[in-house]
Amino acid sequence: MQALTYNCDLEISASVRAKTCQSVINETLSVGENSFIVDPKTDSNLLIDTALFAWWDQISNTKDNEYSHSKNISSFSNMAWATTIYVGCSVGQCEDRKLFVCHYHPKGNIPREKIYFEGKACKTNLHCLSINQGSCYNSLCTADDYPLSREGLNFDGRPFSSQPISSNIPTFQALLHQLTKSEADNTTTAFPEWESTSPQP
């Protein structure tokens, strides 16, 4: 498991998603997605704290550390997925609800695959060189902030590279097109300063 690094590109995609005011998870996106809905008058900080604890609490439903859609663990597994490195979140203010959305990359939640792998904790930055030249933080490898536009996830129409690093990742422009079919106004962004911790199975 790696510590999650906050990513502003993912915050933008989560913000667009939050504007739709739709709490149904979009499984077709190229990123993992968690959402949490509350009364529109709920304080945003309380919403964020409540959502994060509720998502992580799904760990109690894990028995064999293997992902399955039927286990009601998708929110937890998005946070704990072994190869997921980045997260970005946003709060959307809707007429009848307030919606908190987080996006995760690379996307996990692959059926019959392990959510996380047990192993030795990192002790120095040398143990984390394979993760975008990342560093060791609280015994977990954490990647440096990395614009996902470098992987072809471009959201403003300007080409950052002639070829995306990963050819199977759609452009950010295409991702936003998926998200913007239905939008609402008055969306604010949130910057939760948190990192995933190693689960205790």
DSSP track, 60-114: GG-SSSB--GGGS-HHHHHHH-TT--EEEEEEEE-SS-EEEEEEEES----TTSB
* Distance from C-alpha of 18 to C-alpha of 83, rounded to nearest angstrom: 25
pLDDT grade for 179, boundaries at 50, 70 and 90: very low
CA nearest neighbour of 69 among 80, 78, 60, 82: 78
Stretch 54-72: mean pLDDT, rounded?
89
Q: Which CATH superfamily is domain 5-189 in?
A: CAP (3.40.33.10)
**Tokens standing for 157?**
């129409």
pLDDT tens across 24-42, in order? 887 778 899 999 998 888 8
Could you tell me which residues come within 8 angstroms of residue 18 by beta carbon, excluding any fewer than 6 positions away?
A: 90, 91, 92, 99, 100, 101, 187
pLDDT tens across 66-110, in order? 898 878 999 999 999 988 988 999 999 988 889 999 999 999 999
User: Which residues, listed in sequence order, are joined to residue 8 by a DSSP beta bridge?
Assistant: none
CA nearest neighbour of 3 among 82, 56, 77, 57: 82
